[in-house]
Structure 1
Amino acid sequence: MEFREKIESLIGEFLQEREDLFLIDLRFSASDDITVILDGDQGVTLQDCLDASRAIEFNMDREEHDFSLQVMSAGLSEPLKSERQFRKNLGRELDILLTDDTKVEGELLKMDEKCITLVLRYRKPKDVGKGKVDVVEEKEIPYTDIKKALVTVKF
C-alpha cells in the first residue's frame, strides 16, 4: 500500500470508530507534511486531535517513510464544506460568496441534501416616499452555487 493510501486508510478507520467526528480536509505537501483537519457534531477537543494523531503515528514506521503530522480542528477561518458542517451551524449567521462572486449574509435557517435556506435581514428604500423599510426574506441557495461559506462571529 502506498504512503498516501495508508494514511487515508488509517484516518478512515479512526473516523469509523468515532462517528461524531468527520474529515474536512487531508493535505499532503511535497515534503510529506500531512495536515488533517477534523470537525465534529459537538466540536473537536484536544483529546480528539491527539487520538487521531496517535491512530496514524502508531501505525506508521518513520524508518520506512519520514513524515510530519499535524491534526487540528476546523477553525472559524475554515470555510464550511460538508452538509454536516452546515447542519451543525443551523441558526448561526453565515457569510457566503457565490460562484458569480456576489456576497450574501444571513442566518442559516434550514438545509437539506441539495441546498441551504438563509434568512436575509436588510433595509431597502421605500417604494413611495423617503426613508427605508426593514425586509426579512428567505433565500434558498444550492450547494453548487456556493464558492465559500464562513460562519460570522459577532461580538
Structure 2
Amino acid sequence: MIDTKKIVDVAEQNMEGTDLFVVGCTCSHANEVELTIDSDTSVGIDACVELSRRIEACFDREEEDFSLTVASAGIGSELKHLRQYKKLIGSPVEVLLLSGVKITARLDEANEEGITLSYEEKQAVEGRKRKELVTVTRRYPFVQIKWTREWLDFK
C-alpha cells in the first residue's frame, strides 16, 4: 500500500506559492488514493488535473501501482482546517456539537481554540409572557465540536 504521507508531501511541494492546501488524503486496500484539496478562494477542475499529473510524475508506476483522484473539498463536506473556517467567516454554517445539539448559525470568528457563532434563540424576556427571538453570540471550543459544514439554504 502506498504511503499517503508521500502523496501529501509531493502535493504540498507542488502547491507552494498558491492558495491551495491539502485537506486530507486516504488510501484504500486496493491502492486507490483520494487527495482532497481546498483553497482560500476556489478550486477549479484544472487545478485538480494539473496537481494530479504532477504527483503521478513523481512516482514510479512499476514500483508502486496506485490510482489517484484529486478532488476539491465540496460545499457539504466537513471543515477540517482553520483556513477553511476563516474562509467562511460571515457565512452560515451548520455545527454538530458532541452533545448532539445541531446549530445553524453565522460564523463570526475562528481561531486555534474554537469558533464564535451568532444565531437566533427563543429566550424569556423580562416583562414579557412569551419567549422572544433574541440574537445570541456564543463561543464553542473545537473540543466540543463533532463537525462543521457550510450551510446552504435552498429556500
Q: TM-score, normalised by structure 1?
A: 0.89
User: Residues 2-151 of structure 1 correspond to what in structure 2 (within 5 A)?
Assistant: 3-4=2-3, 5-18=5-18, 20-124=19-123, 130-151=129-150
* TM-superposed deviation, 1:128: 5.6
Judge which range, 98-107 or 33-42, deviates more: 98-107
Judge which range, 31-40 or 131-140, deviates more: 131-140
Q: Conserved in 1, the CA contact under 8 Å of 2:26 and 2:35?
A: yes
* TM-superposed deviation, 1:129: 5.4
Q: Report the Cα distance in structure 2 between the residues aligned to 1:60 and 1:80, rounded to whole angstroms.
A: 29
Q: Deviations over 1:12-53 (max 9, x none)?
A: 2113243x0111110011111000000100011111101210
* TM-superposed deviation, 1:121: 1.2
What amino acid does structure 1 have at the position aligned with 2:107?
Answer: L
Q: Deviations over 1:87-117 (max 9, x none)?
A: 0001111111111222222100112221110
Q: Report the Cα distance in structure 2 between the residues aligned to 1:7 and 1:81, rounded to whole angstroms.
A: 18
What amino acid does structure 2 have at the position aligned with 1:23?
Answer: V
Aligned residue for 1:54, secondary structure, equals helix
Q: Conserved in 1, the CA contact under 8 Å of 2:76 and 2:151?
A: no
What amino acid does structure 2 have at the position aligned with 1:140?
Answer: R
* TM-superposed deviation, 1:80: 0.7
Segments of 5+ residues of structure 2 without an aligned counterpart are none
Aligned residue for 1:149, secondary structure, equals strand
The percentage of counterpart residues that share the same residue type is 31
What's the RMSD between the two structures over aligned residues? 1.8
Segments of 5+ residues of structure 1 without an aligned counterpart are none
Q: Report how many aligned residue pairs link the two structures.
A: 153
Q: TM-score, normalised by structure 2?
A: 0.89
Q: Report the Cα distance in structure 2 between the residues aligned to 1:8 and 1:87, rounded to whole angstroms.
A: 22
Q: Report the Cα distance in structure 2 between the residues aligned to 1:146 and 1:109, rounded to whole angstroms.
A: 16
Q: Deviations over 1:32-86 (max 9, x none)?
A: 1000000100011111101210121111121222110100000022101111000
Judge which range, 75-84 or 119-128, deviates more: 119-128
Q: Report the Cα distance in structure 2 between the residues aligned to 1:84 and 1:149, rounded to whole angstroms.
A: 13
What amino acid does structure 1 have at the position aligned with 2:146?
Answer: K
